[in-house]
């Protein structure tokens, strides 16, 4: 598998949205700048959602106004409606992400609408964004299982993906929001989705809640997926999905891909230093296994305990 894999860093958004203690804006800015210095080219920096729903990201405008943006790096943010788009336009976003679920109950819990009520809202956002020259990415949540409904039929994932692509999303990220997916299911479902939509328009978004995150990445790689979302330190979770925990960690996926001879353009040492920085900001150890191994030895592939 000697190929390039694109990573979309979602730590500053998915990673932080569930943190209870409000993190100072200056630390969020430093986080984003460190991630960019480590070579990540795509960063989901924050959300323009209702700040009453996600208080941690209420400083979205400040973050995006104050970061030093680097040429060639894509800075994106979640946008749920036209009010969110207005705020995103105000800070000169060039890319946004719209999001919804493939299960009714999670969609209602997360964005307060049924699936059918959501389509026209997101279509309006996508059309208005594209009219301003802004690229739109899409997310399908609960694609491998829902915290309220359990199994989610692939037909629901296909329906939502189709709608998001049809409204102009250049890529749709298929999300295992609560980390219940398994590699067999991931490979089979991605094969079906790739047959319908093509691998270049799909990405994988895995949470490692039950320890299947990297195995699911490998299964999706085998199916043909070459874009993955990940979060520094393995931070993350959805406040509107009970039991959701961190995304797959950027350090872990980069380590695994490099070890398999694949390229990411990312410097693992820089990531580890960024993970250490986030541990100091949050005052706790983060879930990334590679972060824990490498912060002690400082070296890729070496084990401190022999
Ligand atoms: P609502 O309360 O139904 O909205 O929320 P509303 O349209 O009735 O408006 C209520 C008030 O909110 C109004 O203000 C609006 O102006 C304001 P008022 O008139 O009462 O003063 N408002 C806003 N203010 C700022 N920015 C906005 C905005 N929108 C409304 N954008 C809404 C509906 C969708 C906005 C809300 O449910 C929401 O913000 N939900 C977001 C929840 C969220 O961010 N969840 C986590 C992200 S999704 C995720 O993590 C999954 C993912 O990682 C993939 C995966 O893991 O599968 C992407
Ligand atoms: Mg997520």
Domain boundary assignment for the chain: 6-297
Say if residue 306's pLDDT is above 60: no
Nearest atom within ligand 1 for CA of residue 111: 37
The arithmetic mean of pLDDT across residues 41-64, rounded, is 98
- Residue-level pLDDT at 296: 80
- Residue-level pLDDT at 305: 40
Ligand 2 center–CA 127 separation, angstroms: 24
Say if residue 279's pLDDT is above 90: yes
Nearest atom within ligand 1 for CA of residue 97: 58
- Residue-level pLDDT at 5: 98
The arithmetic mean of pLDDT across residues 265-277, rounded, is 98
Q: Which of 10, 49, 59 maximizes ligand 1 atoms within 8 Å of its Cβ, making it the mutation to test the pocket?
A: 49
Say if residue 145's pLDDT is above 70: yes
The arithmetic mean of pLDDT across residues 110-116, rounded, is 97
pLDDT confidence of 244, banded at 50, 70, 90?
A: confident
DSSP 261: T
**Nearest protein Cα to ligand 1, atom 40:** 111
75 DSSP β-pair partners: 43
**Nearest protein Cα to ligand 1, atom 12:** 50
Residues 6 or more apart in contact with residue 49 via CB below 8 angstroms? 57, 78, 79, 80, 84
What sign for the dihedral angle of Cα 10, 14, 15, 16?
positive
Burial track 271-295 (b if 16+ CB lie within 10 A, e otherwise): bbbbbebbbebbeeebbbebbbbbb
Average pLDDT of the residues of the chain: 95
Shortest-distance ligand to the CA of residue 239: 1
Phi and psi angles of residue 75, each rounded to the nearest 5 degrees, phi first: -110, 120
Which SS3 state, helix, strand or coil, does residue 243 take?
A: coil
> Cα–Cα distance between 285 and 288 in angstroms, integer?
9
The arithmetic mean of pLDDT across residues 43-59, rounded, is 98
Shortest-distance ligand to the CA of residue 97: 1
The arithmetic mean of pLDDT across residues 109-121, rounded, is 98
Ligand 1 residue neighbourhood (C-beta within 6 Å): 14, 17, 47-51, 53-54, 78, 80-81, 83-84, 87, 99, 110-112, 139, 141, 175, 177, 205, 238, 240
Nearest atom within ligand 1 for CA of residue 175: 57
DSSP 11: I
Query: Measured at the alpha carbon of residue 120, what is the angle toward residues 46 and 131, in degrees to the nearest 5?
Result: 65
DSSP letter string, 52-105: TT-GGGTTHHHHHHHS-PPTT-EEEEE--SHHHHHHHHHTT-SEEEEEEESSHH
Ligand 2 center–CA 237 separation, angstroms: 6
Residue with the larger pLDDT of the pair 237 and 141: 141
> Cα–Cα distance between 294 and 273 in angstroms, integer?
9
Residues 6 or more apart in contact with residue 79 via CB below 8 angstroms? 47, 48, 49, 85, 88, 96, 97, 98, 125, 129
> Cα–Cα distance between 206 and 38 in angstroms, integer?
21
> 268-282 and 289-297 helices cross at what angle (nearest 10)?
100
Ligand 1 center–CA 248 separation, angstroms: 25
Please tell me whether the overall predicted TM-score, pTM, comes out greater than 0.85 for this model: yes
What sign for the dihedral angle of Cα 128, 134, 140, 141?
negative
Say if residue 277's pLDDT is above 50: yes
> Cα–Cα distance between 144 and 212 in angstroms, integer?
12
pLDDT confidence of 298, banded at 50, 70, 90?
A: low
Residue with the larger pLDDT of the pair 304 and 156: 156
pLDDT confidence of 1, banded at 50, 70, 90?
A: low
Ligand 1 center–CA 59 separation, angstroms: 14
Ligand 2 center–CA 54 separation, angstroms: 14
The CATH class that applies to domain 6-297 reads alpha beta
The arithmetic mean of pLDDT across residues 261-273, rounded, is 97
The arithmetic mean of pLDDT across residues 99-121, rounded, is 98
- Residue-level pLDDT at 242: 78
pLDDT tens figures, 170-180: 999 999 999 99
Specify the residue for token string 């997916």. 181
**Nearest protein Cα to ligand 1, atom 22:** 50
Residues annotated as catalytic (active site), given as ranges: 238
pLDDT confidence of 300, banded at 50, 70, 90?
A: low
């Amino acid at each position: 598998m000697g190929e390039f894999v694109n990573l979309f860093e979602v730590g500053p958004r998915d990673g932080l949205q569930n943190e209870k203690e409000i993190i100072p804006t200056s630390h969020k800015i430093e986080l984003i700048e460190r991630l960019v210095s480590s070579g990540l080219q795509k960063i989901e920096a924050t959300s323009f959602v209702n700040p009453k729903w996600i208080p941690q990201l209420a400083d979205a405008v400040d973050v995006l106004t104050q970061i030093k943006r680097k040429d060639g790096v894509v800075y994106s943010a979640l946008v749920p409606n036209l009010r969110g788009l207005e705020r995103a336009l105000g800070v000169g976003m060039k890319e946004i992400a719209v999001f919804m679920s493939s299960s009714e109950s999670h969609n209602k819990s997360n964005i307060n609408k049924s699936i059918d009520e959501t389509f026209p809202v997101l279509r309006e956002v996508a059309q208005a964004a594209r009219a301003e020259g802004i690229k739109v990415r899409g997310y399908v949540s609960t694609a491998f299982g829902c915290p309220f409904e359990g199994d989610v039929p692939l037909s629901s994932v296909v329906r939502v993906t189709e709608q998001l692509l049809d409204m102009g999303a250049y890529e749709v990220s298929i999300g295992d929001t609560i980390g219940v997916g398994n590699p067999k299911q991931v490979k089979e479902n991605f094969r079906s989705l790739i047959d319908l939509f093509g691998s270049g328009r799909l990405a994988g978004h895995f949470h490692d809640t039950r320890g299947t995150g990297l195995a699911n990445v490998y299964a999706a790689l085998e199916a043909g997926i070459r874009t993955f979302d990940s979060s520094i330190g393995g931070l993350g979770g959805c406040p509107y999905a009970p039991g959701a925990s961190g995304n797959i960690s950027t350090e872990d996926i980069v380590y695994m891909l490099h070890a398999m001879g694949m390229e990411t353009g990312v410097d693992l040492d820089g990531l580890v230093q960024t993970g250490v920085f986030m541990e100091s900001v949050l005052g706790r150890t983060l879930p990334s296994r590679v972060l824990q191994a490498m912060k002690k030895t400082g070296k890729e592939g070496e084990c401190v305990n022999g």
